[in-house]
Amino acid sequence: MPLAAQARDYAYSDAHLHYVDFFQETQGMQALLKAMADNRIEQAMISGIPVAKKWHEDEPKRPRYYAGDDAGAYWYSATDVLVAAAVKQLPVEQRRRLHPFLSGFNPNDKNSAAHIQRMLDLDPGLWQGIGEVFTRHDDLTALIDDDTPRANNEAMAKVYRLAAERDLPVMLHSNITSKRERNPLYLAEIEEPLSEHPQTRFIWAHAGTSAEIHRHQERLAFLLPTLERLLQAYPNLYIDLSWSLLTPYLMDEQGMPSQEWLQLVQRFPERFMLGSDGVGRFDKLGQELRSFDGFLDALPVEVARKVARDNFLAILPDSR
């Protein structure tokens, strides 16, 4: 590895972090703050989980994850109450390190924008973004007790307009394809909002990928050229590089960074950010973020530091 790519020390912003899990349980705020302090995570997005997994009457054992059994999940608005209560109990200096995103709404419900407005009015200045919004999301899509959520439906269009009015970024989980299709089956569902809501800043969680997709098809050959086209066409698009993108895209099995992805990030140096995608437990936050160091080290130092820390902070309303 060239001298210019030698290891560096990074300060991080965690751009994708869930305070609770799919059962609305958490290790708690002190565990989160300790994990941040121990791992140079200076700032963090913090959100709930917008659905709760049901422990169904017919299931003999409590599931550990949403995919643990065949029971469904349901939209759970109280997740935002849990996040707000945890943040508001902190001293001001600690609160400044956390950036709450509001997620507890049904993306199929055209009343959701009004609900979000009420939540914003209830705690002025608390919420700094919207999301992670679950639309296309692996097997969870079929498990949710409702219609299939899409990022390009009328209900979400109302949310995007509100987000633009309130200068709030929106983080979307919208899979680019299904587990079996080797084409960008659902691309229109993310591209239409990008085109129709140019004043709304979108963070695309995992760039539409997931571990579940990768279990069935190792690498999406169309992903990188699709991202290159979208980033060029839509200046309101930002990419969350959380864990499902690390391999097989950013790094190969030998731990070597992809030259194509390095070139993409350097072409759009302010449009990528890191996220742990931690879910209610925080003991591995540092490990998740440091796993990107090999990729960051191969970037110019100023670009690497933007990706590791600054780009997420730059899209928050306070920074603008």
Q: What is the pLDDT of residue 6?
A: 55
Query: Are 107 and 134 within 8 A, CB to CB?
Result: yes
Residues of the chain with pLDDT under 50: 1-5, 320
Q: What is the pLDDT of residue 5?
A: 46
d(CA 248, CA 240): 16
Helices 259-267 and 223-233 cross at an angle (nearest 10°) of: 10
Q: What is the pLDDT of residue 63?
A: 85
d(CA 286, CA 309): 13
Q: What is the pLDDT of residue 4?
A: 46
Q: What is the pLDDT of residue 319?
A: 56
Q: What is the pLDDT of residue 7?
A: 60
Q: What is the pLDDT of residue 3?
A: 43
